Structure 1
Amino acid sequence: MSSSEKPAGYDIDLGNECSRNAYAWSKKTFANRAGKPGEPAQDLDGGFANEIRFGNARLGISSDGIGTKIEVAERVGKYDTLGYDLVAMTADDLIVGGFVPTNLSNIIDVNTLDYGVIDELMHGLHDACNFSGIAITGGEIAELGNRIGGWHGARMNFNWCSTAIGSLHPSLEKPLSGATVQAGQAVVALRSPSFRSNGFSLARRTLQNLFGDAWHQASYDGADATEMGHTWGEALLAPSLIYSPGVTGVLDAGLPLHAAAHITGGGIADNFKRVLKNGVGAELDNLFEPLPAMQRLTELAGITPADAYLYWNMGNGMLLVTDEAAADAVVAKLQEGGYQAQVAGRITAESGIRLKVGAGELSYE
């Protein structure tokens, strides 16, 4: 993995090892709630949300933040879209487990307060939660002085994280874990119109090296500039699309889902393999094309397509596994909800993930 860790400045394998270790320590506390309200599920390893049980109520819980995308907002001076990123990171981690997001609590750690920035952040969070049917039921603003840093020209430096909870969809007996995934099932991809909130360390480093400290003001002339913006700062700041309402609609319609993967850091290979638990693999030959900005950054950074598909979603924000006979209906339901979706491939009896994309054939074991 050494070739793919250097450009971004971080080690994906080490990050996964640290996460597994942290979760191992966490699991040692599960016995504290065994047979009591708040009992965690024991069989959902590998996901980014877990189930907690309160009698017959089965809830999901997930925590995440928006990482260094914050610096892009600081540079552009626009903060009212970050709420979509914050909700997407937790709500979409819940829905891939079959949990419909219901409530969210957030914490904003700041160096010094700026009322206007806080107002923009919360306005955007309000809009994103309205889009998703989520109530904001908790929050904290903590002033931490020089413990919080960021871009020197910002009105306020901050970090923003949230925890969301949701309830297991009533059509499901168990959370979606990939336990019923079998060869021959279909994979449906949902298009991502943005970078979401992942891979920004590599993007920022690449643009810094190319354009200097004012990289966010450098002209962006990609084919999608009308939608994304005409500077690199605007293009990177485009907000995340929240998929949970669309996937909820699929479940509401009674359509079968066997697994779902939220494509975040680690890309398709790292995230999709988490739900391929029966020794199966996948062949994806009809994914959405990478966004022009992602394609351009791949060239500017000098990284291989195989690595690019690990750092960014490359235009595919979520993958769903459904029965082959139901695939077209799942796509139609998602499109009815305003999402771009298409059948992207199938589950194979052979392990590993194989992508057939414009850059060639890419394989991940």
Structure 2
Amino acid sequence: MTSSPTPPATSNAGYSIADGNAASRNAYGWAKKTFPNRAGRPGEPAQDLDGGFSNEIRFGQERLGISSDGIGTKIEVAERLNRYDTLGYDLIAMTADDLIAAGFVPTNLSNIIDVNSLNYSVVDELMRGLHDAANFAGLAITGGEIAELGNRIGGWPGARMNFNWCSTAIGVLHPSLERPLSGVGVRAGMAVVALRSPSFRSNGFSLARRTLINLFGENWHEATYDGPDAANFSTWGDAMLAPSLIYSPGISALLDAGLPLHGIAHITGGGVADNFQRVLKGGVGAVLDNLFSPLPAMQRLCELGGISAEDAYLYWNMGNGMLLVTEEASAAAVVAQLQAGGYDAQVAGRITADPGVTLRVGAGELRYS
């Protein structure tokens, strides 16, 4: 099976990844025009992480990373289930793992909760979960705000509180690195290591929700979950709310151990192929022939909703939350270190001299250029 170089103008998710990437590039282009404002002064931005989800700012010899993100429409799942204490893991994963993907160890986070009208107990559940996630990731929550915006914020009807939740995190460049990880050192023959994701994380929910609505109607979250892992979830809502695993502690441990990393892709919006191509600089490509199998819930949605493998690997992580590029000779040690830290990891493929990403998965061979 071969995919087109870019997805169709409109997809099952209702938008084009190509259009989204173009809008992001345009927004970043405007942002870069402000970089001269801090040239030669504290807070000077670097420009060697173009295409990444975090960037570098310099304060003298100190090199910090900064990343902003939110948890998107996964919030609606929490509203439907009236359960909010896991979303903090999603919020931290989106920014902390973007930072560590560039070699910045996350240290601090600020967050903002925009609400229609304030509900104390919901905010307490959100912040309790954020506290637990911050303890797992080893960072401090050092800023935040709650803003009541009335009917500017909508969501699931009947929820105790409708809201949007975003954060900005900063981190410090790991002392073993001379410069952020950007993929410039990636060469043919290097190994690719995958870390398993046990959930959808906070991406691809528009496609997933649309599929579930088509299958089960507006109350899809109450529909009985019938995936192969049905012992873990009673409803589709339970399966979709599973929290994100935070990878930054495991990657920090690799760097602490002195294991070589040349590029890291955090698999978020844009799926496996689109995100991994961000670290393939200099015309190299990759063949990934040993990725983790798709999550049972993702596989079941593909079967029920008629979602092609090409689309699924473009919109979802398909069970692979992060891809690391390391030396071939170090791949086994990288996998062992990650497994010792409680993460599922395995060698997933190799870097090739030919450009493009080829995925050899159960559905066949998918090629993305």
Name the TM-score, length of structure 1 as normaliser. 0.99
Aligned position for 2:3? none
1:252 to 242, 251, 256: 256
| Matches of 1:144 and 1:249, distance apart in 2 | 41
2:124 to 98, 109, 119: 119
1:69 pairs with 2:77: no
Give the AA of the match of 2:229. Answer: D
Aligned position for 2:107? 102
Give the AA of the match of 1:364. Answer: Y
8 Å CA contact 2:7–2:18 kept in 1: the answer is no
Query: SS in structure 2 opposite 1:73?
Result: helix
Aligned position for 1:139? 144
1:38 to 23, 43, 46: 43
2:351 to 343, 347, 350: 347
Give the AA of the match of 1:280. Answer: V
**What stretches of structure 1 move > 3 A for 4+ residues in a row?**
1-5
8 Å CA contact 1:7–1:301 kept in 2: the answer is no
* Matched residues, number: 364
1:364 pairs with 2:368: yes
Aligned position for 2:269? 265
1:301 to 281, 296, 305: 305
Distance 1:295 1:5, change over 3 A: farther
Please give the residue correspondences for 1:331-342 in structure 2 after superposition, counting only pairs within 5 Å.
331-342=335-346
Aligned position for 2:171? 166
Distance 1:345 1:100, change over 3 A: same
Name the TM-score, length of structure 2 as normaliser. 0.97
Q: Deviations over 1:61-107 (max 9, x none)?
A: 00000000000000011100000000000000000000000000000
Q: CA deviation at 1:212?
A: 0.9
Aligned position for 1:202? 207
| Matches of 2:158 and 2:209, distance apart in 1 | 16
Q: Over aligned residue pairs, what C-alpha RMSD do you find? A: 0.9
| Matches of 1:48 and 1:214, distance apart in 2 | 34
Structure 2 runs not aligned, ≥5 long: 1-5
Query: SS in structure 2 opposite 1:318?
Result: strand
| Matches of 2:180 and 2:8, distance apart in 1 | 36
1:19 to 21, 24, 43: 24
Aligned position for 1:48? 53
Give the AA of the match of 1:357. Answer: V
1:316 to 316, 320, 326: 320
Q: CA deviation at 1:221?
A: 1.9
Aligned position for 2:236? 232
8 Å CA contact 1:49–1:61 kept in 2: the answer is yes
Aligned position for 2:296? 292
| Matches of 1:106 and 1:298, distance apart in 2 | 34
Give the AA of the match of 2:179. Answer: K
Q: CA deviation at 1:180?
A: 0.4
Q: Between 301-310 and 106-115, report the one with greater CA deviation.
A: 301-310
Give the AA of the match of 1:352. Answer: G
Give the AA of the match of 2:152. Answer: R
Q: Deviations over 1:120-155 (max 9, x none)?
A: 000000000000001000000000000000000211
8 Å CA contact 1:92–1:242 kept in 2: the answer is yes
| Matches of 1:242 and 1:160, distance apart in 2 | 17
8 Å CA contact 1:177–1:258 kept in 2: the answer is yes
Q: CA deviation at 1:255?
A: 0.3
Give the AA of the match of 1:109. Answer: D
Aligned position for 1:78? 83
8 Å CA contact 2:7–2:17 kept in 1: the answer is no
- Identity between Structure 1 and Structure 2 (%): 78
Aligned position for 2:331? 327
Q: Deviations over 1:248-283 (max 9, x none)?
A: 000000000000000001111110000101100000
